[in-house]
């Protein structure tokens, strides 16, 4: 009989899966916990409830306490970390003590470990390495094809199973694919899985979206969840179904409703980015693009060139940070620089028109602003940014943005890049 971990259980208090990451280095921030994220995605593919993630340092008493707590509320615990040969690798010891059982050596594991290390100097009394071969008596061993520390599958009490993995991501993933995936699927999965489709928005805030889709945010299947990044909002539509075809049918009406409601603001799906969408659209048109950057200092160019295939449309840029280079490279007159200032609509417009002509492209984006934290004034505060877009048939669009001065320099630069790219996207959309 399979444990009841599915998403739509009739049990008012269904038991789910928990992830426990073990390692003081995680708590100190020395290592980013990518394992928990990867395991979460794998559990989602299997359609399993994932209720909680915890992180604990290399302290036996604290590990014991949290394992005992988890055993009372969950059916499946997945741990990563603490399986190596060093004194602070305490996972197996702590798990055994949590349920008052002894650890027993698996001699064949010691033989395999010596073969893996191929070290003639390795002695049978190398206790630091040999500790990796001790497990509870009835535990099933998870082979580690990429390292020396095996994991285990163990049911210490009825209805509660523990799977252990090393903290090294490559080892953990190989062990998951080779052993754990099949075990979890057979014991816990009911053949339903989660499938997601993410819509990406620019030019609108998360709260504005949420106000208009209250009815969608309360759906049970599919579920709709908003996520906000700097300059971008994502709506993830997740369906629970037996296969992808069925999931797409469940997601389709919600997706269509959102696209109709927010057609102007949705720029892509899933792995799309503003740069990739813009590159694809310009490539379809067989049109080219150049930049003249001041306050972003090359960040706009970097965002485009981070996409493979950008050379199809992107010709290059001129980063003219000083007035001297604006004059010599972009032919901005000294009179205009003195009269209006480098951060002005007049200068930014001239930058766009001149760089388009100088570099011979179809489209040009110019940007000039005050990213701070210094350099602002009452007339031109920190966060003031001008953007100009020059295009075919004498097209010219000027944009003035004033970002909140509480934003830091990097945030203002990043948001400015997003506005540049999204503004050109909208211009192309209106001309399609």
Are 283 and 422 members of one domain?
Answer: yes
- Phi, psi dihedrals of residue 139, rounded to the nearest 5°: -75, 145
Q: What is the number of domains present in the chain?
A: 3
Which pLDDT does position 2 carry in this prediction? 56
Tell me whether residue 339 is in a domain.
yes
Task: Supply the DSSP string of 126-193, one letter for each residue.
Answer: -HHHHGGGEEETTPEEE--TTSS--EEEEEEETTEEEEEE-S-HHHHHHHIIIIIHHHHHHHT--S-E
Helix H segments across 310-363?
323-330, 334-340, 345-359
| Percent helix, strand and coil across the chain, each to the nearest 5 | 40, 25, 35
Q: Which secondary-structure segment (H or E) carries 193?
A: strand 193-201
Are 78 and 142 members of one domain?
Answer: yes
**Cα 263 → chain centroid:** 24
Domain end, chosen from 126, 157, 187, is at: 187
**Is residue 305 predicted with pLDDT exceeding 80?**
yes
Which is more confidently placed, 83 or 192?
83
**Is residue 173 predicted with pLDDT exceeding 70?**
yes
267 prior amide bond cis, ω within 30: no
pLDDT digits (tens, 9 = 90+) for 202-239: 999 999 999 999 999 999 999 999 999 999 999 999 99
- Work out the percent of the chain whose per-residue pLDDT is above 90: 84
Sign of CA dihedral 399, 405, 411, 413: positive
Confidence of residue 432 (pLDDT cuts 50, 70, 90): confident
Closest CA to 285 of 391, 367, 406: 391
Within 8 A by CB and 6+ apart from 144, the residues are: 150, 151, 166, 171, 174, 175
Confidence of residue 121 (pLDDT cuts 50, 70, 90): low
Contact 303, 421 (CB under 8 A): yes
Are 353 and 418 members of one domain?
Answer: yes
> Among 46-55, 194-203, 279-288, 341-350, where is mean pLDDT lowest?
46-55
pLDDT digits (tens, 9 = 90+) for 327-379: 999 999 999 999 999 999 999 999 999 999 999 999 999 999 999 999 999 99
How far is it, in rounded angstroms, from Cα 90 to Cα 88?
Answer: 6
Are 255 and 327 members of one domain?
Answer: no
Tell me whether residue 49 is in a domain.
yes
How far is it, in rounded angstroms, from Cα 211 to Cα 224?
Answer: 13
Which pLDDT does position 126 carry in this prediction? 67
**Which tokens hold the place of 381?**
């505060």
Torsion of CA 244, 247, 253, 258, to 10 degrees: -80
Q: What is the CATH number of the domain that holds 230?
A: 3.30.70.2860
Are 283 and 222 members of one domain?
Answer: no
Domain end, chosen from 122, 152, 187, is at: 187
Confidence of residue 3 (pLDDT cuts 50, 70, 90): low
Closest CA to 232 of 287, 303, 132, 154: 303
- Phi, psi dihedrals of residue 368, rounded to the nearest 5°: -150, 135
Within 8 A by CB and 6+ apart from 424, the residues are: 278, 289, 363, 365, 389
- What are the DSSP E strand ranges found in 57-115? 74-80, 103-105
**Is residue 12 predicted with pLDDT exceeding 50?**
no
Place of tokens 């008596």: 137
Confidence of residue 123 (pLDDT cuts 50, 70, 90): low
Which pLDDT does position 308 carry in this prediction? 95
Q: What is the CATH number of the domain that holds 358?
A: 3.90.950.20
How far is it, in rounded angstroms, from Cα 83 to Cα 131?
Answer: 9
How far is it, in rounded angstroms, from Cα 134 to Cα 49?
Answer: 31
Tell me whether residue 9 is in a domain.
no
- Nearest-Å Rg of the Cα atoms of the chain is 28
Which pLDDT does position 117 carry in this prediction? 81
Tell me whether residue 298 is in a domain.
yes
Which pLDDT does position 129 carry in this prediction? 87
Sign of CA dihedral 300, 279, 281, 359: positive
Contact 422, 274 (CB under 8 A): yes
Tell me whether residue 6 is in a domain.
no
Query: 3-state DSSP call for residue 419?
Result: helix
Which pLDDT does position 44 carry in this prediction? 85
Are 285 and 259 members of one domain?
Answer: no
Query: Which structural domain range is residue 107 located in?
Result: 16-187
**Is residue 128 predicted with pLDDT exceeding 90?**
no
pLDDT digits (tens, 9 = 90+) for 26-41: 999 999 999 999 999 8
Q: What is the CATH number of the domain that holds 44?
A: 3.40.980.10
Question: Mean pLDDT over residues 71-88, rounded?
Answer: 95
> Among 15-19, 62-66, 261-265, where is mean pLDDT lowest?
15-19
- Work out the percent of the chain whose per-residue pLDDT is above 70: 94
Confidence of residue 421 (pLDDT cuts 50, 70, 90): very high
Which pLDDT does position 5 carry in this prediction? 57
Within 8 A by CB and 6+ apart from 242, the residues are: 191, 192, 193
pLDDT digits (tens, 9 = 90+) for 365-420: 999 999 999 999 999 999 999 999 999 999 999 999 999 988 999 999 999 999 99
Tell me whether residue 400 is in a domain.
yes
Contact 112, 198 (CB under 8 A): no
Domain end, chosen from 135, 152, 187, is at: 187
Establish how many alpha carbons lie within 13 A of residue 373's alpha carbon, considering only the half-sphere containing its beta carbon: 3
Average model confidence (pLDDT) for the chain? 93
Tell me whether residue 7 is in a domain.
no
């Amino acid at each position: 009989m399979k444990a009841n971990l599915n998403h739509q259980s009739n049990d008012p208090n269904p038991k789910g899966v928990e992830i426990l990451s073990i390692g003081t280095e995680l708590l100190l921030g020395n290592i980013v916990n990518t394992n928990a994220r990867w395991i979460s995605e794998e559990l989602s593919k299997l359609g399993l409830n994932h209720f909680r993630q915890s992180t604990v340092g290399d302290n036996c008493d604290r590990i014991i306490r949290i394992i005992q707590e988890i055993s009372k509320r969950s059916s499946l615990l997945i741990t990563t970390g603490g399986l190596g040969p060093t004194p602070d690798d305490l996972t197996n010891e702590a798990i055994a003590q949590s349920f008052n059982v002894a650890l027993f050596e698996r001699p064949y594991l010691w033989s395999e470990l010596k073969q893996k290390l191929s070290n003639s100097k390795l002695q049978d009394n190398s206790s630091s390495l040999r500790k990796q071969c001790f497990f509870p008596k009835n535990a099933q061993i998870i082979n580690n094809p990429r390292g020396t520390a095996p994991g285990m599958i163990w049911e210490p009490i009825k209805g509660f199973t523990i799977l252990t993995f090393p903290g090294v991501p490559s080892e953990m993933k190989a062990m998951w694919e080779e052993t754990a995936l099949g075990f979890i699927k057979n014991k816990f999965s009911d053949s339903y899985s989660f499938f997601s489709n993410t819509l990406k928005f620019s030019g609108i805030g998360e709260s504005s979206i949420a106000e208009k889709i209250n009815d969608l945010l309360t759906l049970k299947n599919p579920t709709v969840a908003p996520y906000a990044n700097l300059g971008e909002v994502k709506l993830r539509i997740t369906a629970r179904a037996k296969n992808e075809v069925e999931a797409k049918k469940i997601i389709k009406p919600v997706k269509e409703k959102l696209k109709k409601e927010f057609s102007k603001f949705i720029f892509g799906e899933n792995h799309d980015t503003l740069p990739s969408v813009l590159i694809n659209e310009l490539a379809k048109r067989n049109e080219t693009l150049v930049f003249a950057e001041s306050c972003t200092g090359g960040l706009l160019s970097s965002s485009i060139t981070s996409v493979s295939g950008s050379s199809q449309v992107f010709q290059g840029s001129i980063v003219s940070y000083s007035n001297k280079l604006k004059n010599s490279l972009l032919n901005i007159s000294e009179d205009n620089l003195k009269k209006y200032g480098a951060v002005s609509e007049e200068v930014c417009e001239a930058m766009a028109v001149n760089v388009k002509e100088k570099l011979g492209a179809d489209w040009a984006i110019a940007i000039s602003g005050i990213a701070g934290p210094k350099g602002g004034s009452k007339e031109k505060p920190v966060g003031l940014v001008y953007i100009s877009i020059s295009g075919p048939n004498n097209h010219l669009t000027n944009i003035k943005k004033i970002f909140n001065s509480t934003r830091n320099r990097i945030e203002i630069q990043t948001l400015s890049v997003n506005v540049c790219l999204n503004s050109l996207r909208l211009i192309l959309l209106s001309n399609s």
